[in-house]
Amino acid sequence: MDKLRSIVLAIRALGIKNVLWTLVASLYRDWWNLRYWQGWRKKPVYHTGTIVTTRFSERGGRFGFGEGSLDVTFLQEDIVRITWQPGTPPIPYALAQVDWPMVRVDTESLDDGWVLKSSEVSVHVHQNGDIDFLDPKGRILRSEAAPMRIGEAWEQRSWMRPDERVYGLGERAAPLNRRGRKYRMWNREVGGIYGANDDPLYVSIPVYLGIHMDGSYLIFYENSSRGEFAFVADSYATFRFESGMLRYYFCPGPVQRAFKNYLRLTGEPPLPPKWALGYHQSRWGYKSEQDIREVIEGFRNHRLPLSAIHLDIDYMDGYRVFTIDRTRFPNLVELTEELRQDNIRVVAILDPGIKVDSAYSVYNEGVEDGMVLTLPNNKPVRARVWPGWCVFPDFTSEKTREWWARQYVSLLNEGISGIWHDMNEPATFAAWGEPTLPYATRYAMDGRGGNHIEGNNLYGLLMNRAGFDALQRFRPNRRPWILSRSGWAGMQRFAWNWTGDVETSWEALRQTLLVMLGLSLSGIPFTGSDIGGFTGDPDAELFLRWFELATFTPFFRGHSAIGTQRREPWVYGEEATNIVREYLNLRYALMPYIYTAAWQVHHDAVPMMRPLFWLDEKDENLLAIEDEYLFGDALLLAPVLEQGASARSVYLPSGSWYSYWDDQWYEGNKTYRIEAPLGRLPLFVRAGSVLPVEEDNQLVLHLYAPSTDTEEANISLLYSDAGDGYRESRLDRFTVFWEKSDLVVDMQHQGQYRMPYEKMVLKLHGLTAESAQVALSHRPVTENVIELPALQSLKIFVKK
Ligand code: MIG
């Protein structure tokens, strides 16, 4: 069914001629793959054997085995790098540059092998090559069997506890807990549509969090080769990579610390420009300036706020990257400038494929200067994509990255604010088999050489790196913003992500929440989905439920495929438009809070979307919940994901919570049935929080009273700056606690940025105040609102 549907879609989108060429392209790919294929020859299998030599250094040690060697290196007290050789070392594209501190590692010899130990982890290397990782109390966090080498490939097993849960692996249309399935490590274009259970998708990342009774840990395999992770057996998991050395990093839990260390290793996401957190409108099918103006007009007429509009592939001249179709966009600079006056940014799509066309400079330069991927016969590899036959930049070459980056100037000159990287798995059109390049395709690998088996998964990452560098270099006073479909470990340093061509269905909506949470836990916190699904026509209910959810995701964009019905927020009639408007306004009102959450990602290495177990990874109740999540520090969401539902059950974690809509108070650690008619997404605020909201030029600090028996203080943050660039900023910190019968708000600030608000007020929820004392002076309280002289360091005493 799906297959047929995608064929029909393909013919419709591509035209019959292109489809025929796609057949040719698929044959060409297969022909090269056959030549590359080494036959069914049995590959030799090597077992490590036992330790024969040892050598210890400050950070760890090296163990020579009968076959191969093992290096254990502590980068930090709580980050251990393991390297099994032989095999080609990875080029550290995934890694951020970090000066690792000195670590003290103790070494101890045992009857069975050696223990290397920091204050946070012990690594027990057994005589036979098995490895245990233990916490300081001696509890085993992870046990591995000695790996095996099969030809060029590595295969490893680790033992799984019955209760062990596994999270991460990148973008997966699977349950959040990945146990019970197999996952391919291979970035793949899903062919225009995917639903629950399709694997792999566009972003596969060999990183995961393991959580079990005795603790938790994170493992990251720094190996971009094609591989597979299987969590199907009851008692063990299997990891396979087709080439390269077996290098991985072990970080002990708790998950928050392990996650932080993973981002230290692979890089924290930079602070995005504030506009990127607003609403984006897109559609594959806005083809001309006229189309764009009509859409903008629609937003204006319906009084819907908008921050960005996206140009899909039709803005280009014959799909040639870095060109503009001047009949459709006669004056793009003027358009972008005009929209800029209204605070609307224009984002343009870029595909990596370069049209084969001898009259096209990008093609000529790319080929003449050896900047495109080649085959073993030294000829550029070709494949079909939108422009017809294409060649592909080799982003594993610094020279190519620089050259490619320079091309962005042409888009910047048109006033384009953000760049949208599509098709960078890399994707090609295929009539059958994998929509990718031949495996023998050669990559520069910055000097050492490699093939597509290793290069495929790096392609998006490095395209993003080139694009990010371009925006940083050629527009230095503004923050780069790139949206990318594909990537690998470390892509968060350069780009945001969206979840690609997800189908339009209720099941896909449910799945998409998990995809986004899974990405967040894989170190890609800035993600979002096409509202309503990419490839179909949602009815108003599905559209609105998707919209409700998307309002509380980092990337908030409406997008749809060509050939689908129009899906601007007002096409569903007035009632639906009113709901959309309410959510859009809510998103913009919450911007101070959302921006702060985005800053926390960058500064504190916490995802914006967090599963409930983020609060307590030992709590089985929280671990079991996959359809609720936290958005920043203060908000809990329980989206409605079922057709026809007008209520749902919601588990609230410990502490207490308020309904955002009516201030209803709920005690935590309990499940409730919550009314949730269309337009009423169950949304809760954690008691004790200060939720900063922007309302008509005012900053309203909504204070949700902690319950009177709470002894701890609750800290909320507010980060502010000009929204772009790199100038002053400020951080306000609100500490809320009870002092006898006074509720105290201790406000502290640092930083020079001046708030743009005309007025600032504190609004109380969950208690009725009689009077207040701000700094030393008495203040009236009217309808639970206290006016603040300024946001400065002061104490407020609220008297009941
Ligand atoms: O082959 O540019 O996922 O968002 O609209 C399809 C056209 C290419 C796939 C992207 C989608 C985009 C579409 N692209």
Residue 11's φ and ψ, nearest 5 degrees, are -65, -40
Contact yes or no for 209/167 (Cβ under 8 A): yes
Q: Is the pLDDT of residue 301 over 90?
A: yes
Select which of 314, 422, 454, 732 is catalytic. 422
Q: What is the pLDDT of residues 177-230, one digit of tens each?
A: 999 999 999 999 997 788 888 999 999 999 999 999 999 999 999 999 999 999
* Minimum CA distance residue for ligand 1 atom 1: 192
String of DSSP letters for 450-503: EEHHHHHHHHHHHHHHHHHHHHHHHSTTS---EEES---TTGGGT-EEE--SB-
Mutational test site, ligand 1, from 284, 315, 503, max ligand atoms within 8 Å of CB: 284
Please tell me which of 8-17, 20-29, 336-345 the model is most confident about, judged by mean pLDDT. Answer: 336-345
- Ligand 1 mean position, distance from CA 320 (Å): 15
SS (H, E, C) 272-341: CCHHHHCEEECCCCCCCHHHHHHHHHHHHHCCCCCCEEEECHHHCECCECCCCCCCCCCCHHHHHHHHHH
Gap from CA of 502 to ligand 1 centroid (Å): 11
Q: What pLDDT is attached to residue 38? A: 66
CA dihedral 776, 778, 781, 787 (to 10 degrees): -50
Distance CA 610, CA 618 (A): 15
Q: Distance, CA 710 to ligand 1 centroid (Å)?
A: 51
How far apart are the CA of 481 and the centre of ligand 1, in A? 19
* 401-455 tens-digit pLDDT: 999 999 999 999 999 999 999 999 999 999 999 999 999 999 999 999 999 999 9
Closest C-alpha to 467, from 406, 391, 385, 554? 406
CA-427 nearest atom, ligand 1: 1
Residue 775 has pLDDT above 90, yes or no: no
Per residue in 725-741, is it b (16+ CB within 10 Å) or e — as a string?
eeeeebbbebbbbbeee
Q: How far is the CA of 353 from the centre of ligand 1 (A)?
A: 13
Ligand 1 atom with minimal separation from the 562 CA: 5
pLDDT band at 137 (very low <50, low <70, confident <90, very high): very high
Pairing mode, strands 182-185 and 227-230 = antiparallel
Catalytic residue check, 501: yes
Residue 800 pLDDT > 90: no
Ligand 1 atom showing the smallest separation from residue 385 Cα? 1
What proportion of the chain, given as a percentage, has pLDDT over 90? 89
Q: Are 303 and 331 in contact (CB under 8 A)?
A: no
Mean pLDDT of 582-592: 98
Residue 2 has pLDDT above 70, yes or no: no
Structure-token match 């306004």, residue found: 585
Which tokens sit at 76?
């930090």
Sign of CA dihedral 496, 678, 566, 335: negative
Per-residue confidence (pLDDT) for residue 39, from 0 to 100: 59
Ligand 1: residues with CB < 6 A are 284, 312-313, 349, 422-423, 485, 500-501, 559
The active-site residue out of 501, 548, 568, 732 is 501
Q: What integer pLDDT is reported at residue 40 of this predicted model?
A: 63
Integer Cα distance of 463 and 393 in angstroms: 9
Q: Are 702 and 726 in contact (CB under 8 A)?
A: no
Report d(CA 452, CA 240) in Å as an integer.
17
d(CA 664, CA 675): 12
Ligand 1 atom 5: residue of nearest CA: 284
Residues 144-186 pLDDT 10s: 999 999 999 999 999 999 999 999 999 999 999 999 999 999 9
Band of pLDDT at residue 740, cut at 50, 70 and 90: confident
pLDDT above 60 for 1: no
Task: Determine which of 16-30, 204-218, 605-619 has the lowest per-residue pLDDT on average.
Answer: 16-30
Pocket test for ligand 1, best of 9, 314, 316, 423 (most atoms within 8 A of CB): 423
State yes or no: pLDDT of 125 exceeds 70: yes
Distances (CA, A) of 796 to 583, 690, 694, 700, 755: 32, 13, 21, 15, 20
Dmax (CA) of the chain:
86
- Quick check: 798 pLDDT over 80? no
How many angstroms separate the CA atoms of 797 and 123, rounded?
52
Known catalytic membership, residue 422: yes
Which one, of 607, 639, 532, lies nearest residue 281 by Cα? 532
The structure's pTM equals 0.97
Mean pLDDT, the chain, rounded, equals 95
Q: Given pLDDT bands bounded at 50, 70 and 90, which one contains residue 4?
A: confident
**Residue scoring higher pLDDT (698 or 2):** 698
Cα–Cα dist 62/69, whole Å:
7
The residue to mutate among 194, 202, 310, 312, having the most atoms of ligand 1 within 8 angstroms of its beta carbon, is 312
Residue 789 vs residue 303, higher pLDDT: 303
